[in-house]
Structure 1
Amino acid sequence: MKLVPVTAHLHDVSLAPLTEADRKEMQAAAADLALFRYWPRDMAADKWNQNFDWMLQEQAAGRWLLHTVRAGNGQILGQTCYLAIRPEHKGLEIGGTWYVASAHGTQVNPACKLALLDNAFACGAERVELKTDARNARSRAAILKLGASFEGIFRRHLLLPDGQWRDTAWFSILREEWPNVKAGLEARLSAM
């Protein structure tokens, strides 16, 4: 599996690899800290540059492939990423996703996931994981709506910045499931 970043435009949503040039616009879009309630990193404004630098370092090291998500008019809507990339096992995770509140419940997430999943399987992935804080009902519902299979809860999986433990809900899509999942996503997007 040789994973490559996604550059795509579909359903009035664009994905492109994250670059240094996105820093200030991303920071402005990420100002609503409620977006990061369940995140394992402290995304407070005073830590934004430190977090952005860390993301670029992870990308440079090949551990993450981060994508900026924009509306058709160029406005930044959020980010979504490939991470936990395991070429030797032909697996990866899609995560590190956040969107501005106005993008919730729209075509943005299914369009992004369609592009990322299609690329991952085209690059040779056998398994794509999606994870979220077990308390994050909206995210869990969105992942299931994509067509992913729920695999269970990893208890005390991550220690959060506020000192609480995160139980993590795990989901996956396998290569042989992808054609049906893809058809479902395409039908869903066509109906929007």
Structure 2
Amino acid sequence: MKLEPALLENAFVRLEPLHDSHREEMRILAREAELWEWTSVRGDGPGFDAWFDPLRAGQPGSRQFGHAVRICQTGELAGHTSFLAIEPDHARVEVGWTWYGAPWRGGFVNPACKLLMLGRAFEAGAQRVELKTHGRNLRSQRAMLRMGAVQEGKLRSHMVTWRGDRRDTVYFSVLPDEWPAVRQGLERRLQAFAPAA
């Protein structure tokens, strides 16, 4: 598996590899406290730069890189998504640190992003794409199930949140033989939004 930063785009969203040029625009969007409710690291306010810096594309030896999510029709910044825990020797990658500003939740943005991210991962040779979320983040869990990812289980007391409490983590995955059905499901969901794209 060879997964490197690249611009990804469809009729709905453009995923731009994260660079310093995105910093201030994303800092403004990241001010929404609700975005960080379930995370292990808080990326708003004084925590923003420590969250942002490790996700910039092109850092030598990095096993992760982020994308600024932009709406194709308007050019507005809608949020962020990343490739994390890139393991070329095991052909495994996680899609995560995904968040969108309030106007972009529950519509076309997430299925359009997942279509691009999973497609890119499998084109690069991934044999497993992982997704995970806080055990109490039911909205994310519903989105992963709706997408067609397989829920694998819960790791109890898995991580420490930015508040200092311990969280359970629910894991999901998509494998190559599952990808065609997942892709078709995402494409079907996006058909309802085609006039808005």
Answer whether contact 2:5 2:58 (CA < 8 A) is retained: no
Q: CA deviation at 1:10?
A: 1.8
Aligned residues: 192
CA deviation map 1:118-148 (0-9, x unaligned):
1100110010000000100101001111110
**Structure 1 residues 191 and 125: CA distance shift in structure 2, 3 A:** same
**Residue in 2 that maps onto 1:130:** 131
Is residue 2:71 matched to residue 1:71?
Answer: yes
**Residue in 2 that maps onto 1:30:** 30
Report the residue type matching 1:19 in the other structure: H
**Residue in 1 that maps onto 2:102:** 101
**Structure 1 residues 57 and 118: CA distance shift in structure 2, 3 A:** closer
TM-score norm. by structure 2 comes to: 0.93
Report the residue type matching 2:152 in the other structure: E
Structure-to-structure mapping, 1:7-156, within 5 angstroms: 7-56=7-56, 59-72=59-72, 73-156=74-157
Answer whether contact 2:17 2:57 (CA < 8 A) is retained: no
TM-score norm. by structure 1 comes to: 0.95
Give structure 2 stretches of 5+ with no counterpart: none
**Structure 1 residues 57 and 17: CA distance shift in structure 2, 3 A:** closer
**Residue in 2 that maps onto 1:159:** 160
Q: CA deviation at 1:59?
A: 4.6
* Counterpart-to-counterpart distance in 2, 1:97 and 1:182: 18
**Residue in 2 that maps onto 1:169:** 170
CA deviation map 1:103-125 (0-9, x unaligned):
11011000000001011001100
Instruction: Select between 126-135 and 35-44 the one with higher mean Cα deviation.
Output: 35-44
**Structure 1 residues 131 and 58: CA distance shift in structure 2, 3 A:** farther
Answer whether contact 2:17 2:56 (CA < 8 A) is retained: no
